[in-house]
């Protein structure tokens, strides 16, 4: 049996507001737009948009890569996949190369 973990992080604009995310060690912490704050109802935190100046990739790609690499490293899934808005194979390639760069070493 193979377990595949999937993420929609590539296109995500916000995540659930959780006390866990405020921990700087949390996988999602660096992707939250802390300056923007929570949504008006307090249920969500907004994710950074645009390009991550450190990697040159969009923030959503980096979040998808980090989340899926963590899932594999933690032994929760043997395979990962990322949903994309337009089935662009170059985006899929960038994703899996990013995951492999973290997991393979």
State pLDDT tens for residues 9-66.
Answer: 889 999 999 999 999 999 899 999 999 999 999 999 999 999 999 999 999 999 999 9
φ, ψ for residue 44, nearest 5 deg: -130, 155
When pLDDT is cut at 50, 70 and 90, the band that residue 86 belongs to is: confident
User: Which range marks the domain in which residue 16 is found?
Assistant: 4-103
Split into its structural domains, the chain has a count of 1
DSSP 3-state of 100: helix
CA distances (Å), 54 to each of 1, 5, 75, in order? 37, 26, 28
For the chain, give the percent of residues with pLDDT over 70: 100
DSSP 3-state of 86: coil
Instruction: Decide: pTM greater than 0.75.
Output: yes
Catalogue the E-assigned strands of 1-105: 4-7, 14-16, 44-46, 79-82
| DSSP β-ladder status, 79-82 and 44-46 | unpaired
């Amino acid at each position: 049996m193979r377990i595949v973990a999937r993420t929609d992080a590539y296109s995500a604009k916000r995540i659930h507001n959780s006390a866990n995310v405020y921990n700087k060690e949390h996988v999602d912490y660096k992707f939250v737009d802390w300056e923007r704050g929570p949504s008006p109802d307090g249920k969500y935190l907004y994710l950074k948009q645009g390009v991550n100046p450190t990697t040159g990739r969009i923030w959503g790609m980096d979040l998808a890569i980090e989340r899926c690499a963590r899932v594999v490293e933690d032994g929760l899934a043997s395979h990962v996949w990322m949903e994309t808005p337009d089935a662009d194979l170059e985006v899929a390639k960038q994703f899996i190369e990013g995951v492999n760069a973290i997991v393979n070493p």
